């Protein structure tokens, strides 16, 4: 485990995102809150927040940190895709990137789990760090990909 004991705490923020691709009919069921297990986005939001807090239990050598804020958002990208975006903030000696990535990854897995009864062909795509700030390495922002 990396020694962070001599590092000065700074305000740190990380934003991660991923895409869940599904059949148009599945997305309509989500929009209309028609899944027996409950509201897909609300269950996935709670799981994502919980995952961010449990990241050190999942990722070896990941420092436990005191998270100050977790914000999980869902947006409709197309008639077959949703995007999950997670923002994690902390005043810490180490970053929040893994917490943000864990959050949106688990959120996407919950969407899959809740909807698999009607669509086993769903895909989880483009799990990635979008932006991070704070700490010695400074600011990072993913640049849009060009075709």
Domains, the chain: 10-136 (3.30.70.640)
Query: What's this model's pTM, rounded to 2 decimal places?
Result: 0.93
Per-residue pLDDT of the chain (147 residues; tens, 9 = 90+): 888 888 889 999 999 999 999 999 999 999 999 998 899 999 999 999 999 999 999 999 999 999 999 999 999 999 999 999 999 999 999 989 999 999 999 999 999 999 999 999 999 999 999 999 998 888 999 998 876
Residue 14 to residue 139: CA distance in whole angstroms:
10
The SS3 assignment for 1 reads coil
Tell me how crowded residue 9 is: count the other CB atoms within 10 A of its CB.
15
Beta partners for residue 10, in sequence order: 92
3, 33, 57, 113: which is the annotated catalytic residue? Answer: 113
User: How far does the chain reach from its first CA to its final CA, in angstroms?
Assistant: 39
3 has catalytic annotation: no
Strands (E), 4-144: 10-21, 67-76, 81-92, 123-133, 140-141
Tell me how crowded residue 76 is: count the other CB atoms within 10 A of its CB.
12
- Of 94, 75, 138, the C-alpha closest to 3 is 94
């Amino acid at each position: 485990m990396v020694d962070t004991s001599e590092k000065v705490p700074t305000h740190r923020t990380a934003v991660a995102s991923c895409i869940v691709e599904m059949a148009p009919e599945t997305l309509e069921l989500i929009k209309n809150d028609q899944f027996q297990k409950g509201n897909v986005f609300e269950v996935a939001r709670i799981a994502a927040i919980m995952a961010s807090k449990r990241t050190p239990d999942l990722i070896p050598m990941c420092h436990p940190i005191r998270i100050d804020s977790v914000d999980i958002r869902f947006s409709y990208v197309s008639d077959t895709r949703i995007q999950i975006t997670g923002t994690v903030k902390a005043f810490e000696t180490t970053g929040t990137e893994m917490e943000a990535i864990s959050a949106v990854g688990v959120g996407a897995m919950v969407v899959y789990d809740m909807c698999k009864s009607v669509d086993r062909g769903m895909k989880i795509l483009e799990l990635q760090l979008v932006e991070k700030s704070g700490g010695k390495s400074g600011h990072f922002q993913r640049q849009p990909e060009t075709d």
